Amino acid sequence: MPSDPARPQARITIRDADPSDTAFMHSLSPRLSGVPGPVWHTRAAMDGFQDRHMAATVDAGLAGARTLMALSEGGQRLGYIHLQPGKDGVTDEPCGYVAVLALVEEAEGQGVAAQLMAQAEAWARAQGYRFLSLDVFADNVRAIDVYTRGGFGAETIRMVKPLT
How high is the pLDDT of residue 3?
Answer: 44
In a domain, 140, yes or no: yes
Residue 125: give the domain boundaries. 13-149
Specify the higher pLDDT residue, 90 or 125. 125
Kindly report the average pLDDT of the chain as a whole number: 92
What total of structural domains would you count in the chain? 1
Q: 36: pLDDT confidence band, cut at 50, 70 and 90?
A: confident
In a domain, 66, yes or no: yes
Query: The domain spanning residue 54 has which CATH number?
Result: 3.40.630.30
pTM attached to this predicted model: 0.90
In a domain, 5, yes or no: no
In a domain, 7, yes or no: no
CA dist., res. 123 & res. 118, Å (int): 9
20-30 pLDDT, tens digit per residue, is 999 999 999 99
Q: 8: pLDDT confidence band, cut at 50, 70 and 90?
A: low
